[in-house]
């Protein structure tokens, strides 16, 4: 990726920091560091201020940083030097008076160590907790990021189509999950966006079921929640029900309710709509059908370098949609002991409405697969 | 797994807390929660005190918790209720006066929200930052955990043997990594312990290289750092060099130095030995050979539910080895632009010394593989 992209993002952040009156920010969230620098390793912080940007890393990454971020200054610590000391040294050189630190991704223990390490600074250095500033910038994707997410969608969808055609009643949840991962990679994915959820029959009532040894058998249905991660690090996230046999009428009923709710939610997506209003639009359909208490999670979340990022659709979310946001819409109804349905697509907010990026058919009759 | 195992661990923790004078602890680290409860989901905290233990989770996990932790009290929040409010409610019921919070796994933002949510408590509640108490208990594995790690070692080793036999010069780093993951699963692994490192030729000088599109070709050597994760969640971690063709004499030289250093480090492992002394034993061999500045990381780390956990071998580590610890020994020499060597095994501290759990041959001549 061209370095200019990262420099542009850092300039955007500096403009935001200026408005907030913060002279420098210590970026500790790994994905935020990647988004601002192109560096793909871990355990590294970025100190960014007006006129300087220093990546604080360790000897494992010296060569990689030279390749990935040739235009950044680097502070490399070795195994004798803990992170907080390296931070203190870089910060003391910058002499900013105040230092913002990302408070959602810095542990209390790290904060205290940094505070102690800079306690003797001249002039004194004041630490300030800074919220989701970088995360909020990341919520709005540029054209290159949207292209990456589209790639992740294609990889996930091709993998799913292929796994649907090889699925058999002898396969366990774990085997289906592994096969799906393997196939997505065949189609160019670096890996799965997250560990796929494959839940057979009544186990589909667990919204976050961990695939296990339960076999497809004659359970009638399987819930699959999966996505792909591109080599550029961007992710997709989908959920579909596969109907593999006879299913209880109740399940077909809730399938209809969830699908209506999902379509209603998607329809509400446009620039300026509040995050809460989109959640409400979908949730009301489920509540009106009498299943409100069986839909306990938020309606969706942003996707990008992380599988869960800003913004979030929920009954208590603040904020509005803006063009360039990419967010999942995934209502669900879960009946303990009986099974559950969730349907999930990825939606891009456009200038005048939205575009659904995912395209796996989702009418109930489309879900039926022949299994061996 | 039997519930009694988790109850026993919680009793151990309570005894430690009593010594520290802490009436209750909010466990926020995900693996610590798993280790204490058997719960395998995420986004959940455990509040543990004398006479009570409450798992604070959300509606996605209601059924799973009932299955995995039948003997624990549960506080389930829905999408309208943020975590810090649920914590405040549970804590106010417990009326402990003081509340310890794990400070290395709680963000400054979460801490501040919890602090605010409990600020009106009667009697007043004081928050206390608590260090790695649970992590230190986890450093010493019980017999069941050691058996799980042995399983992870077997899965990793069988996968590696199989991938060595199918490797070809046309394969890219990423293809080798994927094939290795796929094969470990065939041998029963739930998945990889971490994303494998496969680094061809000069790229082996990047200790944490991310597998890419570089092909094996006629580079001469490939560094592979990999491990397996069992369905029980335990991990193994190994590194070997595969010699696939003609390699520079310099590389063969550093191979010999790294192997000597590793054997020296392993030899130093016994109960009572300081973590620092083991690091020094291996590091001195590399320093004496003139490569000290090309070995920038610590000698090793504990493995278990996490791929990096307590204890750590490093030049600044505190503490001593105890029976039941399982730790990697992985010295390396990295020559920028030319390549690198790291050799890594997993070692159990026994009552009277150590046992090397991994057994992939590691003499230089053992590293040579025939490729198509």
* CATH (domain of A329): 3.90.230.10
Q: Looking at the domain assignment, is residue B239 inside a domain?
A: yes
Record the tokens describing residue B368, joined without a space: 């040579």
Task: Verify cis geometry, omega within 30 degrees of 0, for the bond prior to B200.
Answer: no
**How many CB pairs below 8 A link A and B?**
134
Q: What is the DSSP letter of A291?
A: -
Handedness of CA A242, A245, A251, A253 (dihedral sign): positive
Q: Is residue B325 classed as helix, strand or coil in its secondary structure?
A: coil
**CA of B11 vs chain A CAs: smallest distance (Å):** 25
Is the domain of A148 the same as that of A166? Answer: yes
Structure token pair of residue A268: 């509400």
B289 Rama class: left (phi>0) / alpha (psi -120 to 50) / beta: alpha
Predicted pLDDT of residue B372? 66
Domain of B10, CATH number, reads 3.40.350.10
Task: Say if B93 is an interface residue toward chain A (CB within 8 Å).
Answer: no
Please report the pLDDT score of residue B258 as a whole number: 98
Residues 303-342 of chain A with CB under 8 A from chain B are 314-316, 334, 336-337
CB of B230 less than 8 A from some CB of A: no
Hey, which residues does B326 pair with through a beta bridge? Answer: B348
SS3 per residue for A80-98: CCCHHHHHHHHHHHHCCCE
**B114 and B214 together in one domain:** no
Rounded to 10 degrees, the C-alpha dihedral A140/B30/B350/B131 comes to 100
Q: Is B129 exposed, middle or buried (0-12, 13-18, 19+ CB in 10 A)?
A: middle
CA dist., res. A344 & res. A209, Å (int): 16
| Residue B281, token pair as written in the block | 């034993």
Q: Residue A372 falls within a domain, yes or no? A: no
Contact predicate B327/B207, CB 8 Å: no
Rounded to 5 degrees, φ, ψ at B187 are -90, 20
| B208 and B303 within one domain | yes
Clarify whether residues B315 and B352 are in a common domain: yes
Phi, psi of A366 (to 5 degrees): -70, -20
Picking from A316, A337, A298, the residue whose alpha carbon sits closest to that of residue B60 is A298
What does the pLDDT look like over B177-228, one tens digit per residue? Answer: 999 999 999 999 999 999 999 999 988 888 888 899 999 988 899 999 999 9
Local structure of residue A195 (DSSP, 8 states): P
Q: With a cut of 70, list the residues of chain B below it in pLDDT.
A: 1, 372
Q: A290 with A186, same domain?
A: yes
Contact, A283 vs A317, CB < 8 A? no
CB A223 within 8 A of CB A341: yes
Give the per-residue pLDDT at B121: 82
Give contacts of B74 with chain A, Cβ < 8 Å: none
Tell me if chain B has a CB within 8 Å of the CB of A128: no
Plot region of B55 (φ>0 → left; ψ -120 to 50 → alpha; else → beta): beta
> In terms of Cα–Cα distance, which of A326, A213, A243 is closest to B232?
A213
Q: How far is the C-alpha of A82 from the C-alpha of A56, rounded, in Å?
A: 11
Comparing CB atoms, the residue among A60, A191, A315 nearest residue B195 is A191
Among candidate residues B137, B156, B189, the one where a domain is terminated: B137
Q: Rounded to whole angstroms, how far apart are CA atoms A91 and A100? A: 11
Other residues' Cβ atoms within 10 Å of the Cβ of residue A90 = 21
Q: Is residue A27 part of a domain?
A: yes
Domain that holds residue A10: 3-137
Domain match, A103 and A161 both? no
Please state the domain count of chain A.
2
Q: Could you tell me if A9 and A134 are in contact, meaning their C-beta atoms sit under 8 angstroms apart?
A: no
Domain boundary among A137, A168, A183: A137
Structure tokens at A331: 């209502």
Residue B209 per-residue DSSP state: P
Are A47 and A74 contacting, i.e. CB atoms less than 8 angstroms apart?
no
Q: Are residues B40 and B164 in the same domain?
A: no
Strands, DSSP E only, in B93-143?
98-102, 126-130
For residue B38, the tally of other CB atoms under 10 A from its CB is: 22
Does residue A207 form part of some domain? Answer: yes
CB within 8 Å of chain A, chain B residues 59-78: 59-64, 78
Q: Are residues A219 and A312 in the same domain?
A: yes
Which among A296, A308, A314, A336 is the top mutation candidate for probing chain B, defined by the most B β-carbons within 10 Å of its own β-carbon?
A296
* A195 and A233 fall within a common domain: yes
Q: A362, A284, A275, A359: which is closest to A325 by C-alpha?
A: A275
- Residue B91: inside a domain, yes or no? yes
Beta-ladder partners of A25: A48, A100
Nearest in space to A263 (alpha carbons), one of A299, A302, A223, A304: A299
Give the separation between CA B45 and CA B348, rounded to whole angstroms: 30
Query: Cβ separation of A129 and B108 shorter than 8 Å?
Result: yes
Mean pLDDT by 10 residues, chain A (372 residues): 88 97 97 97 94 92 89 90 93 87 98 94 90 98 97 98 94 95 95 96 86 90 97 97 92 97 98 98 98 94 98 96 98 92 98 98 92 73
In the prediction, which pLDDT does B94 show? 79
Q: Is the dihedral of CA A34, A38, A40, A43 positive or negative?
A: negative
Cβ-Cβ contacts under 8 Å for A160 (sequence gap 6 or more): A180, A224, A226, A238, A240, A360
Assess whether B97 and B164 both reside in one domain. no
Q: What is the pLDDT of residue B60?
A: 86
d(CA B57, CA B86): 9
Tell whether B28 and B44 lie within a shared domain. Answer: yes
Residues B176, B197: Cα–Cα separation, whole Å: 10
B167 located within any domain:
yes
Secondary structure (DSSP) of A319-335: SB--TTBEEEE--EEEE
> Can you tell me the ipTM of this complex?
0.91
Structure confidence at residue B1 (pLDDT): 62
Domain boundary among A137, A154, A185: A137
Residues B293 and B184 in one domain: yes
- φ and ψ at A355, to 5 degrees? -135, 125
């Amino acid at each position: 990726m061209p370095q200019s992209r990262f420099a542009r993002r850092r300039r955007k952040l500096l403009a935001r920091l200026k408005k907030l009156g913060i002279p420098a920010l210590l970026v500790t969230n790994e994905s935020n560091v990647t988004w601002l620098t192109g560096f793909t390793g871990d355990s590294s912080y970025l100190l960014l201020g007006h006129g300087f940007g220093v990546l604080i890393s360790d000897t494992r990454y010296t060569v990689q940083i030279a390749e990935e971020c040739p235009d950044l200054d680097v502070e490399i610590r070795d195994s004798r030097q803990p992170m907080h000391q390296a931070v203190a040294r870089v910060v003391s050189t910058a002499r900013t008076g105040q230092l913002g630190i990302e408070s959602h991704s810095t542990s209390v223990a790290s904060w205290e160590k940094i505070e102690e390490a800079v306690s003797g600074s001249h002039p004194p250095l004041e630490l300030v907790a800074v919220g989701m500033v970088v995360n909020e910038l990341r919520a709005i994707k540029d054209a290159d990021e949207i292209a990456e997410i589209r790639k992740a969608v294609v990889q996930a969808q091709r993998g799913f189509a292929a796994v649907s055609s090889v699925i058999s009643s002898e396969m366990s949840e774990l085997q289906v999950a592994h096969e799906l991962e393997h196939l997505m990679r065949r189609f160019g994915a670096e890996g799965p966006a997250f560990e796929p959820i494959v839940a057979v029959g009544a186990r589909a009532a667990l919204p976050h079921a961990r695939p296990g040894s339960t076999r497809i058998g004659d359970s009638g249905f399987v819930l699959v929640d999966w996505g792909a991660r591109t080599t550029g690090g961007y992710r997709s996230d989908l959920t579909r029900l596969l109907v593999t046999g006879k299913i209880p009428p109740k399940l077909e009923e809730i399938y209809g309710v969830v699908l209506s709710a999902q379509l209603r939610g998607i329809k509400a997506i446009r620039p300026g709509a509040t995050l809460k209003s989109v959640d409400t639009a979908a949730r009301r359909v489920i509540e009106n059908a009498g299943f409100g208490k069986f839909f306990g999670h938020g309606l969706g979340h942003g996707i990008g370098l992380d599988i869960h990022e800003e913004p979030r659709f929920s009954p208590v979310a603040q904020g509005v949609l803006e063009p360039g946001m990419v967010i999942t819409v995934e209502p669900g109804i879960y009946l303990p002991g009986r099974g559950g349905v969730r349907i999930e697509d990825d939606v891009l907010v456009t200038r005048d409405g939205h575009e659904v990026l995912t395209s796996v058919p989702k009418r109930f009759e489309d879900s039926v697969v022949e299994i061996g």
